[in-house]
Amino acid sequence: MHDKNAPSSVPPFTPMLFAGFMMRPVPAFSLNPVAKYVLVRMKKLYPEIFSRLAILENVNFLINPTDLHYRFYLSVKERETHIDVLGNDAERPEAQATISGPMVDLLKLMEGRVDGDALFFSRTLNIEGDTEAVLTLRNAVDSADVRLVDVLGGPVPFIKPGFTTFFSKVNSLGESLEKDFRTAQRSILFPIMRHVSEIDKELDRSEDRMRKIDKELVKIKTSLKKLQQPAGGVR
C-alpha cells in the first residue's frame, strides 16, 4: 500500500535544505502569520489570480517544498482562498492535489520565472491528485506578474528602495548558492542515487517476474481444470 505520509523521494540537495535544518526549531504555527500576510498582500496586489481560482469548488492543495520541514495547505472554498503552514510531522490533512518540488523552484514558478510544464518535464516538480485543479492554480498564478519583492516589501513604503536592493542581493546570492549545491550534489549524492536506482530496477524486475508467474499460474489452473473435466466430449 502506498503510504501517503512517506516522502515520495529523496529531498533535493539545495541551500533550502540547510536553511530548513536551521529553521527546524521554529514551529510551523509561528510561520502561519507570515504565510497569511503574504496571501493577504497577494489578494490585494493581484486580484486577477483569485478571480481565476474562484471556479474551483472546495479544493485543498498541499504544497510541499521537498527541501523544507514545512508544508503549505492552500484551500479554495466558496470563492475564498485560505492558507496554513504545517510541520512535516503533522498529520497529513485531506488534500485533493499535491504539488511537490524544491522551494526555490516553487517561488520561481510563483513569479512566473519558470514554466510549470518545463519543471514537470524535467521531473523537478511532482504533482499528484486532481490534475485539473493543479492546472487551474498554475494558470491563475501565471496570469499576474507576481513579484515577491512587491508582496513582501509593501507596508512601509519608505524602506522599499533599500528593501528592493537587499532583496535582489539575496536573490543573486541564492542563485549562486544553488549552482554550488548542484555541483556538490553531483559529487556527493550521485553514487548513492545510482545505488538506489539499481535497487528500484531490481524491484521492477521482481514485479515483472511475479506478473509472469501469475500468468503462468492462471494457465496451469485452466489446463488443470480441463484435465479434470470428465472425458467424453460434448454432451
Partner 1 sequence: MELVCPAGTPASLRAALDAGADVVYVGFRDETNARNFPGLNFSPEELEEGVKKAHDMGRQVYVAINTYPQAGNLDPWYRAVDAAARIGVDAVILADVGLLDYAKRHHPSLRRHLSVQASASNPEAINFYRSAFDVQRVVLPRVLTVREIAELITEIDVETEVFAFGGMCVMAEGRCSLSSYATGKSPNMNGVCSPASHVEYEQRRGKLVSRLGEFTINSFPNEEAAGYPTLCKGRFIGHTGDPSYLFEEPTSLNVMMMLPELIQAGVKALKIEGRQRGKAYVHQVVSGYRHAIDAAMKGEPVPFMDMGNITEGTRSTAGAYEKNWR
Binding site for partner 1 (CB under 8 A): 2, 8-9, 48, 52-53, 55, 109, 112-118, 120-123, 126-128, 131-140, 142-145, 196-197, 200, 203-204
Using the minimum distance from each CB to partner 1, give the nearer residue, 2 or 225: 2
CB of 231 to partner 1, least distance (A): 34
CB of 219 to partner 1, least distance (A): 16
Using the minimum distance from each CB to partner 1, give the nearer residue, 180 or 202: 202
Cα 218 to chain center, whole Å?
A: 41
Using the minimum distance from each CB to partner 1, give the nearer residue, 55 or 213: 55
Using the minimum distance from each CB to partner 1, give the nearer residue, 28 or 181: 181
What is the SS3 assignment for 4? coil
Using the minimum distance from each CB to partner 1, give the nearer residue, 26 or 188: 188
Closest CA to 143 of 104, 112, 174: 112
β pairing state of 59-65 and 97-101: parallel
CB of 121 to partner 1, least distance (A): 5
Which residues, in sequence order, are bridge partners of residue 83?
Answer: 74
CB of 227 to partner 1, least distance (A): 28
Alpha helices in the chain (DSSP H): 15-23, 28-45, 47-53, 103-110, 116-121, 131-142, 148-152, 160-228
CB of 139 to partner 1, least distance (A): 3
What is the SS3 assignment for 31? helix
Alpha carbons 132 and 102: distance in angstroms, whole number? 22
